[in-house]
Structure 1
Amino acid sequence: MRTAAVTGFGTALPGPALEQAAVWDRRFAGHLADDRVARRIFHGAGVRRRHAAVNPLVEDVSGWSTGRRMRRYAAEALPLGKEAVGAALADAGLRPEEIGQFAVVSCTGYGTPGLDIRIAADLGMAPDLQRLVVGHMGCYAAIPALGAVADYVVARGRPAVALCCELTSLHVQPPSDDLGQVVSHALFGDAAVAVVVEPGEETGLEVVDVAAVTDPTTADHMTWDVTDLGFRMGLSPEVPRVLARHVRGLVTGLLGRHGLTVGDVDGWAVHPGGPKILDTVGERLDLPGGALDASRAVLAERGNCSSATVLLVLDALRATGRPRPGRAVVAMAFGPGLTLYAALLRAA
């Protein structure tokens, strides 16, 4: 039976890293009326620095129309996406014309012709390339996209690329006392991450299985609404409690289908939606100390980059030698719905 494996990673980050303290002092302290609760949330978000295509210390986009933000997205996302895809192809040792499918994931910007067409053309991918756009699913979208391109690779026997390109800095909202907005402004950063998936299991990370669960009774707990002033996130403090109800069943079910337990997993790439999210996952799965260090490090150095984040964590794990040959890694992310997605991968 043919298999599919992740064989290349590529990352592109816009501009120099912004220090969290400076972002608060020089931008959001005034934006949020220097509220003490807002300050505590901002400095307790687990973020030390992050990158932004639209530097909040230089530009105030909070009054921009959605149309203006989308035009800026098109200008900023194209070079970032090309850099990430080019790096992933180089890492895998492939040429652009060898790719059979190209998937682009984003919930922060749209346009047609979109990144899928423009990046493919600029890099020289083949005219018969199959393209897929995954839009507005939110932070978990990398995993269903990875599942989709892996299915293509298994079915067609050709390599594929998935790109997550998220520019959350475009969606700063007008001043508000909504604490959900404070959390959003404190957490999110920008990044583009691409992965190459190829037939075979001799190298890389084999994509073994994907699982999901959605709790529609909590659909209002996490939202991402298109407004006249960009995209506005809604966040409920109840999100960690909902995750606590579902995360163990999702993970043990996924592992159990393959004769594995939580203790058999050699690496955890968990989307760092915030410190409480990681604490909840660690507690519910009874993970050993340090199991989520890669997730915490990505949150600290990059922030929450929406769909791109779980791939950043997976690449960070890879850099540490995890998972070891023949061992498993679980990648997991969460988002609107309220939805949990998980992928089981195994190192060659």
Structure 2
Amino acid sequence: MAAVISGMGVALPPATAQAEVWDGYFARRYTGAQRRIARRIFENSGVRTRQAAVSPLVEDVANWSTERRMRRYQTEAIPLGKAAVSRALETSGLSAGDVGLFAVCSCTGYATPGLDILLARDLGMSPTVQRLFVGHMGCYAALPGLGATSDYVTARGRPALLLCAELTSLHLQPPADRTDIQQIVSHALFSDAAVAVVLTPRDQALAGYAVREVAAVTDTTTADHMTWEVTDLGFRMGLSAEVPAVLAAHVRGLVDDVLARHGLTVDAIDGWAVHPGGPRILDVVQEQLGLDDDALEASRGVLSAYGNCSSPTVLLVLDALRKRQLPPRRILMLAFGPGLTLYVTLLEASTLTA
């Protein structure tokens, strides 16, 4: 029995043009040579519009305590998550009471009771619903989330629901970090979003994408290349310039191994959902896999329109692919994060009559 992605829902905070965010806020944080460097980073980020639950144009959270940020996380994430889950359930034709497992991925906020409990309550899920919280895995968390929920569906024969919700805007770092290039890059790329996915047993789904395999590789020798540290002033991103080189060393081998187990090659994939961690990340993946520009059009489009939203981002790319006039037959999802870790998920179009 395969688990099939039978519904998706997206919820986004208000969007702002990247140029407006630069001119209205970040340009004032830098002077001299650092301002020229920061402006170049913002202009070359590949991001044209971005969303923020807490926009720096309205509220400057840079000097907020972590406690204050976490309280605001609950206030903003609950309605955003509720909207995404409600839309996913609607597109799948299921009700909240049908869900057997509710999994939530987030690395930008923590509280107990968490989103899994509060949203299950507010949306009317069964008191017997099982819950799973996947925290602090970062940008690739959606794929182990898909792995856990699809395993549940396959083993139990009941629907599961996955929500990825991130509010990176709450972790703006204070002006004292204005000379830190890693922080400038983070501020230029990251954005907010929530995406929910419903997974259904194949014999209960009219159509969708069957989850064929979820696989990963972690290079622990480069664990310090990407970090997400809890500080007294929110969570601080560490992002080495060596990350693309590490991905280049591992991505082809992981992809080839997964595809070989299904008797496939790269040429058999007609849909690529690659997490757009930044322009250089996409360039490396394209080069290592020998893909043409069209293959990563959806990933670059998501980066441009939404920014890097951490865990929901690869699901935004998947949503763009599945809404095409001619949706792909096979989709390979790729996401990367702390570890350094690379995750791959193979999806294949499925119908009851297939």
Establish whether TM, by shorter chain, passes 0.5: yes
TM-score (norm 2): 0.96
One-letter code of the match for 1:190?
D
Match of 2:87, SS state, is helix
| Match for residue 16 of structure 2 among 18, 24, 41 | 18
CA distance in 2, matches of 1:95, 1:33: 54
> How far off its partner does 1:322 sit?
5.5
| Match for residue 180 of structure 2 among 160, 171, 178 | 178
Structure 1 residues 209 and 290: alpha-carbon distance in aligned structure 2, compared to 1, 3 A threshold: same
CA distance in 1, matches of 2:327, 2:222: 34
**Structure 2 partner of 1:219:** 223
**Structure 2 partner of 1:334:** 336
> How far off its partner does 1:149 sit?
0.2
Match of 2:303, SS state, is helix
Map of 1:115-194 to 2, 5 A cutoff? Answer: 115-175=115-175, 176=177, 177-194=179-196
1:235-278 Cα distance to aligned partner (Å, 9 max, x none): 11111001000000010111011000000001000000000000
TM-score (norm 1): 0.97
**1:250 paired to 2:254:** yes
**Structure 1 partner of 2:292:** 288
Map of 1:235-314 to 2, 5 A cutoff? Answer: 235-314=239-318
CA distance in 2, matches of 1:276, 1:289: 14
1:265-305 Cα distance to aligned partner (Å, 9 max, x none): 01000000000000000000001221000000000010000
**Structure 1 partner of 2:8:** 9
Match of 2:25, SS state, is helix
Provide the identity percentage: 66
**1:31 paired to 2:33:** no
Contact 1:323–1:329 (8 Å) recurs in 2: no
**Structure 2 partner of 1:71:** 71
**Structure 2 partner of 1:44:** 44
Unaligned ranges ≥5, structure 1: none
> How far off its partner does 1:216 sit?
0.6
CA distance in 2, matches of 1:33, 1:320: 44
Q: How many residues align?
A: 344
1:4-41 Cα distance to aligned partner (Å, 9 max, x none): 010000000012x1110010111011123361111100
**Structure 2 partner of 1:53:** 53
CA distance in 2, matches of 1:338, 1:315: 26
> How far off its partner does 1:323 sit?
4.3
Match of 1:306, SS state, is coil
CA distance in 2, matches of 1:195, 1:234: 29
Match of 1:139, SS state, is helix
CA distance in 1, matches of 2:83, 2:23: 32
Match of 1:225, SS state, is strand
Match of 2:55, SS state, is coil
Contact 1:267–1:322 (8 Å) recurs in 2: no
One-letter code of the match for 2:349?
A
Contact 1:323–1:346 (8 Å) recurs in 2: no
CA distance in 2, matches of 1:110, 1:147: 22
**Structure 1 partner of 2:96:** 96
Match of 2:312, SS state, is helix
RMSD across aligned positions (CA): 0.9
Match of 2:127, SS state, is coil
Contact 1:222–1:239 (8 Å) recurs in 2: yes
Unaligned ranges ≥5, structure 2: none
Match of 1:57, SS state, is coil
Match of 1:245, SS state, is helix
CA distance in 1, matches of 2:221, 2:31: 35
